[in-house]
Amino acid sequence: MKRKTLGWTLLIVANVLVISVLSLHRSTNAAPQNARAPFGNSVEQRSNMIKELREIKVLLQEQNALLRGDETDRKPHAKNQRK
């Protein structure tokens, strides 16, 4: 009999704990609905990435030309920066 009473007591205590934890949950403060999306326009991001990669390619070509000592591959603005 004592074992049965202990089981029911533990079940009631567990239910009270679960209900009290769930009552503290507030969805309005955790996730505002009017917030801006974390990711921008994918087409715009892709075009920005392509532009940056092209700039990196030009810079790498200039760097390789400097390392080789080749004067013909460098752009005119690279000569001005060196002086």
Residues 33-47: pLDDT tens digits?
566 666 778 888 899
**Taking a C-beta distance cutoff of 8 angstroms, is the pair 62, 75 a contact?**
yes
Decide which of 8 and 38 is more confident: 8
In the chain the first and final C-alpha atoms are separated, in Å, by 96
Question: Which pTM was predicted?
Answer: 0.40
Biggest CA pair distance of the chain: 97
C-alpha 14/C-alpha 18 separation (Å) is: 6
Asked whether residue 81 carries a pLDDT value surpassing 70, the answer given is no
